[in-house]
Chains A and B, each alone.
Chain A
């Protein structure tokens, strides 16, 4: 356990360890290497024979995009929670979280790119038509119109403009005020950030929920789950905390920050990571249990395609790797206090989070094709089509005899080439993310040097 020696860390003394300095170069270089390496992965697209290539590409892009979006939003949540709870311990970590959340501008650009590239792959027009035909309500005539509005492209753009405006405003405000305090030491800025976070939290809760609905839940247009926004939120916060721990570790390994972040801070971060591993499992299980139990076709249509063929194994691996193993692994306080152990679990969980998004998004590559494959009329709801696809209502792992050929489409996202595309996309976007993070970190000190609670954070000890 390395203790901060408080006398050597006077908050007011200029501390060159608290600047990114030479580490900026390393960060930029590794970012560029990752981005280029990623392009090679994406190049696996060239020469692909699959008829699903565009769909694979579009969905892989969406996986990578939501992966980095979730990290960014998770970091934003950390910053707001810090202000809102007037936390003392996390002051030395806050600037790093602010930098991660500052990537929201980059995410906005990547979103625009996604719109241009994947307009069709993402919300196929058949789905839109199908949505309009589903569920003519005897109670409310405007329901059909409402469904149209929900999946309407213009409405979608308007909503995303609102989401990104809220996120940009919050990150800009909280980051700029925090940096301003570095030079002015103005205590009232702390209160201003606190107030902003209070309103920000409400706006955040609504935007992240509806963004999750638009980005992910809309992939299955007939499916609905009231908990879905919370599900995406837990994954976001988890990945934000993990990335924060990894960033702090990387900077310290590169001789930055020094003893301002100690085992005590990692311990607390580890506790939060542990809590969100558990919370994710709780939310995921709540959703699964209730849908499994009620067994309504319009809800089970989400889980059933994810149990066909090799996807059953992916589903089980997700539960084991995202919940059970890290839960036991992070239970002990030693796991949270030893940096290398915590870094191991952080990398593990980041991979598990990527798997979670993969599991949410990639099956759509073949789910979209199911009605077509079973020869159903366009607009046939998925539960209806699934009846024909599967061998029997009990044997959800097997395809009916006449549809065995469809297994190729089911397995397509798991083929090495598809995985290479996905990995390439994640690396390429990760490289850009790293470059941008380096740019943001360089602009200010790595620690909020004039924060009124900095002394408390430097001297922080767990019980």
Chain B
């Protein structure tokens, strides 16, 4: 074969409605192994780039400042902040809302864009999800330290106690505890679950024992089994749907911290969706702020292409318009309502003593991002970077304006006050960036920054749908007529294990039993298992591409085998059908889990605040009925937020734990791991294994069957 036209365009932002542009450009767009190499390069390099040390130095300095400031606060008392009456919340809660908002983009990218089938998300979702976790850590810090006596933070959770006190579930501040902790948990599960296949890649490429054991333990023995992928995909979809509902609820609950009050500027019915839009807006700006330097620093320009930046810029523009719409509605409604306090608040917001904050917010959030209407601005990386930084500034000020400016002048002029931050507050904010960036830098260095398995799934070479239309519309090569020719580039690429084309089966038959294609010259893998004795565990066949594997799966299925499986670096479309895998029961488990969570939450809230249990139960289990905001002891409306959060929490936990239970992982011992061929499954290998315990298994006939399927190599796996 001669050279193939490279399946990429350098400018993949050009829009031609007749075909979809390449999402991964350059070398990485050529084959699965290239993706693995490019992504692993960052974490496997002996030394990170010099810029990483610089960034790490600055961030850890920030972290040190944070530690000092928090220690000073805890040992001295909350008075070191300049909070006062009436401004009893300022930097602390502003930072909390700011950071929790930053996190939302990660969930948007990983969950909402997944549901909307936005394939470009695969390049950025991993590090946006990491960003979510780190932002939630920063966010959680502020409400904790603003309690003053941080060692009593556990009082926020409902547990039976001698004092007979319980949290009041009518209070939005308690809703917050549940929303944020659910959000942190589910984000962590989602992030980790998405990372398991990539950690397995790291494990299989490990060159030191330390790396092998750490990544090996973390990857739970993941082996790319199609039966696992089948459940995994369903679990991912369910978690994405749950996370979507969750992300909307979390910032809505945060907004109720303000909106249930009667304070002008706080009490506005548009707050829940307005906060969600603002959170996504600020989070996306943060993704852009981090992605632009990261793609430079780690050489990820083939993954985070101009098209990715263009799309992110458009999302920033859309959410900017939503935030602008909310501002407009607030001002318009204040004007239309004829409510003097609302009207005063909005005049004071823009023209009062702290009016400049209002203008920073308005200009940075609603005016400056409008420049992104121009394609020119979306293409110029530095313009995009500046806009994204300004949006971050603007969104911080938005929360500050709502909280501090809202508080400083309320209904009674005799109650008016003012606020200036103390140096402790300012440096704590700076320090929280240090914490965030330190964690982010460590992540970039030690974990897979790009979701390799997902990126492989969207490569044109990995795509061969069921029909010609799909191949023609998705493939980048205009001359690609049929599905199988879409694999051409991978064949031409220099393969680490070159196999003579067309002689695959013969090549395999020359190999000594049990050795596979193991190269004597290469150093043994750190996780190399001792050779098994005698008894065969199964037969392993390697295929050139997903289509060949799928065809082979049909043959094996029709031959009546039961104990067999296919292994691939990403879930191959249509393979589960070809193998005859039955749909998983996971969705029903998740439904049951969600229902249980909902019931648990409703019963708990009723029990804890009910006058009935206050008299009928004793000691630490007696209920604590409290009147709060003039509300009834027990009211369903106030219990819905927590019922929702616990529904999502238990459903997500069921999805996560149910996945591993159904696929029976972690299980670290698996005889095919001894095969070098098999370890390529997490890179670019497509293999099929028929196990010896199958009733129909016969060394000779099974081998014949496998050879007839057009594999490139056959290998016998010994039991270990």
> Hey, which bits of chain A sit against chain B, CB under 8 A?
6-7, 85-86, 88, 134-135, 137-140, 143-144, 146-147, 150, 187, 190-191, 198, 202, 205-206, 209, 213, 222, 224-230, 271, 278, 282-283, 285-296, 298, 331-332, 452-453, 455-456, 458-459, 461, 463
CA distance A222 to B337 in the complex (A): 7
A-B contact pairs, 22 of them (CB 8 A): A6-B467, A6-B468, A135-B337, A137-B338, A140-B343, A143-B335, A144-B338, A147-B336, A187-B18, A190-B17, A224-B336, A286-B252, A286-B269, A286-B273, A287-B269, A298-B339, A452-B18, A455-B473, A458-B469, A459-B469, A461-B470, A463-B117
Binds A, one of B294-302, B325-333, B530-538: B325-333
Chain B residues with Cβ under 8 A from A140's Cβ?
A: 340, 343, 347
CA distance A143 to B587 in the complex (A): 55
Question: Does chain A have a CB within 8 A of B162?
Answer: no
CA distance A252 to B267 in the complex (A): 49
CA distance A453 to B16 in the complex (A): 10
From residue A326, how far is it (CB to closest CB) to chain B in Å? 16
Top 10 closest pairs, chain A to chain B, by CB: A135-B338, A459-B469, A226-B270, A293-B260, A452-B17, A224-B337, A227-B269, A286-B272, A190-B17, A137-B340
The reply to whether B340 and A138 contact each other, CB–CB distance below 8 Å, is yes
From residue B169, how far is it (CB to closest CB) to chain A in Å? 13
Chain A residues with Cβ under 8 A from B336's Cβ?
A: 146-147, 150, 213, 224
Q: Mark B253-271, 1 if CB is under 8 A from A, else 0.
A: 0001001111000011111
From residue A180, how far is it (CB to closest CB) to chain B in Å? 15
Which chain A residue lies CB-closest to B588? A332
Q: Which of A229, A285, A459 contacts B465 (CB 8 A)?
A: A459
The reply to whether A294 and B271 contact each other, CB–CB distance below 8 Å, is no
The reply to whether B269 and A295 contact each other, CB–CB distance below 8 Å, is no
Chain A residues with Cβ under 8 A from B480's Cβ?
A: none
Question: Does chain A have a CB within 8 A of B558?
Answer: no
Say whether chain B's binding surface is mostly helix, strand, loop, or mixed: helix
> Hey, which bits of chain B sit against chain A, CB under 8 A?
15-18, 20, 115-117, 233, 237, 245, 248, 252, 256, 259-262, 267-273, 321, 325-326, 329-330, 333, 335-340, 343-344, 347, 373, 465-470, 472-473, 573, 587, 591, 629-631, 637-638, 640
CA distance A456 to B470 in the complex (A): 7
Which chain B residue lies CB-closest to A5? B467
CA distance A385 to B233 in the complex (A): 58
The reply to whether A139 and B466 contact each other, CB–CB distance below 8 Å, is no
Chain B residues with Cβ under 8 A from A147's Cβ?
A: 336, 338
Given A137-B343, A282-B248, A452-B17, A294 and B329 touching (CB < 8 A)?
Answer: no
CA distance A407 to B591 in the complex (A): 44
CA distance A58 to B261 in the complex (A): 37
CA distance A286 to B367 in the complex (A): 28
Given A190-B17, A455-B469, A146 and B329 touching (CB < 8 A)?
Answer: no
The reply to whether B347 and A139 contact each other, CB–CB distance below 8 Å, is yes
The reply to whether A226 and B17 contact each other, CB–CB distance below 8 Å, is no
CA distance A198 to B370 in the complex (A): 12
The reply to whether A456 and B335 contact each other, CB–CB distance below 8 Å, is no
Chain A residues with Cβ under 8 A from B472's Cβ?
A: 455
Chain A residues with Cβ under 8 A from B344's Cβ?
A: 139
Given A139-B340, A455-B469, A289 and B333 touching (CB < 8 A)?
Answer: no
The reply to whether A289 and B329 contact each other, CB–CB distance below 8 Å, is no
The reply to whether A293 and B629 contact each other, CB–CB distance below 8 Å, is yes
CA distance A271 to B117 in the complex (A): 13
The reply to whether B333 and A224 contact each other, CB–CB distance below 8 Å, is yes
Chain B residues with Cβ under 8 A from A229's Cβ?
A: 329
Given A187-B17, A226-B268, A282-B272, A289 and B337 touching (CB < 8 A)?
Answer: no
Given A135-B339, A290-B260, A295 and B630 touching (CB < 8 A)?
Answer: yes
Q: Which of B17, B268, B373 contacts A453 (CB 8 A)?
A: B17
Q: Which of B326, B470, B573 contacts A459 (CB 8 A)?
A: B470
Chain A residues with Cβ under 8 A from B273's Cβ?
A: 227, 230, 282-283, 286
CA distance A190 to B465 in the complex (A): 26
From residue A185, how far is it (CB to closest CB) to chain B in Å? 11
The reply to whether B261 and A146 contact each other, CB–CB distance below 8 Å, is no
CA distance A157 to B388 in the complex (A): 41
From residue B323, how far is it (CB to closest CB) to chain A in Å? 12
Which chain B residue lies CB-closest to A199? B373
Which chain A residue lies CB-closest to B472? A455
CA distance A278 to B19 in the complex (A): 34
From residue A220, how far is it (CB to closest CB) to chain B in Å? 11
Chain B residues with Cβ under 8 A from A294's Cβ?
A: 259-262, 267
Chain B residues with Cβ under 8 A from A295's Cβ?
A: 629-630
CA distance A453 to B18 in the complex (A): 6
CA distance A331 to B588 in the complex (A): 11
Chain A residues with Cβ under 8 A from B587's Cβ?
A: 332
From residue B421, how far is it (CB to closest CB) to chain A in Å? 29
Q: Which of B117, B333, B340, B631 contacts A226 (CB 8 A)?
A: B333
Chain A residues with Cβ under 8 A from B630's Cβ?
A: 295
CA distance A428 to B248 in the complex (A): 40
Q: Which of A143, A456, A458 contacts B338 (CB 8 A)?
A: A143
CA distance A257 to B630 in the complex (A): 59
Chain B residues with Cβ under 8 A from A461's Cβ?
A: 465-466, 470
CA distance A8 to B568 in the complex (A): 33
Chain B residues with Cβ under 8 A from A283's Cβ?
A: 273
From residue B20, how far is it (CB to closest CB) to chain A in Å? 8
CA distance A367 to B372 in the complex (A): 47
CA distance A148 to B631 in the complex (A): 36
CA distance A286 to B262 in the complex (A): 15
CA distance A147 to B336 in the complex (A): 6
From residue B690, how far is it (CB to closest CB) to chain A in Å? 28
Chain B residues with Cβ under 8 A from A282's Cβ?
A: 248, 252, 272-273
Other A-B contacts than A226-B271, A227-B329, A456-B469, 12 sampled, CB-CB below 8 A, are A88-B20, A137-B340, A140-B347, A147-B338, A225-B333, A227-B272, A289-B638, A296-B267, A331-B591, A459-B465, A459-B469, A463-B117
CA distance A134 to B337 in the complex (A): 9
The reply to whether A88 and B473 contact each other, CB–CB distance below 8 Å, is yes
CA distance A224 to B629 in the complex (A): 22
From residue A462, how far is it (CB to closest CB) to chain B in Å? 9
From residue A100, how far is it (CB to closest CB) to chain B in Å? 23
Chain A residues with Cβ under 8 A from B468's Cβ?
A: 6-7, 459
From residue A155, how far is it (CB to closest CB) to chain B in Å? 12
Which chain A residue lies CB-closest to B329? A226
